A = this chain, B = another copy of it.
Amino acid sequence: MRSTAEARRVTVLNAAVSAFARTGFHATPVTAVAAAAGISEAYVFRLFAGKLGLFVAAAGACFDRIAAAIEAGAEQAAGSSPEEILDAMGRAYAELIADRDLLLFQVQAQAVTDIPEIAEAVRAGYRRIATFVQDRAGADDAQVQRFFAYGQLCHLIVTAGLEQVSEPWARALTAGIRHP
């Protein structure tokens, strides 16, 4: 035994988040994930319940990482006003998604919510983050809504590559958003 199955699963999930983030659920062959994880395709199918099971597990890992980052951000602003805590969470999130994998994975997941298991995974992820923001920051509904609205705006900015566009409309959309 070179490794335990559980350790392998972690490796595979990291590879899966990256691979799915780039090319999405349907256009990412399991062989690509297996290759990135350094194991055979057959073993990936033994570790996870089909490609769908792999994707759902990867979604869990993705939201785990996001939640952890936001919680860490909140920690630093503990005791401040809701507005300041939200700000700290936003900064922590912005730093986390600098590598784009976690952001793009969310986009990809939202695009395949016609598959019920994935829709449920997405809901579970946002449920976790949203309730945490609501409770921990003590933010009201409008603040929570704004937090997520501008988070979603980042998805557009990154997928459309608006940071590279210097036209006025693009500058307006990206204004104040952390430039990489």
Where the two chains meet, the residues of A that have a C-beta atom closer than 8 Å to any C-beta of B are 22-24, 26-27, 107-108, 110-114, 119, 122-123, 126-127, 130-131, 134, 141-142, 144-146, 148-150, 152-153, 155-156, 159-162, 165, 167-173, 175-176
Which B residues are in CB contact (< 8 Å) with A113? 159-161
Copies of this chain, whole number: 2
Give the shortest distance, in Å, between A149 (CB) and chain B (any CB). 4
Question: Considering the chains assembled together, what is the distance between the CA atoms of A112 and B108 in angstroms?
Answer: 8
The CA-CA distance from A33 to B174 in the complex, in Å, is: 35
Q: How far is the CA of A171 from the CA of B111 in the complex (A)?
A: 22
Known A110-B107, A159-B111, A159-B113; judge A131-B165 contact (CB<8 A): no
The residue in chain B whose Cβ has the minimal distance to the Cβ of A112 is B24
Nearest CB on B from A100, distance (A): 11
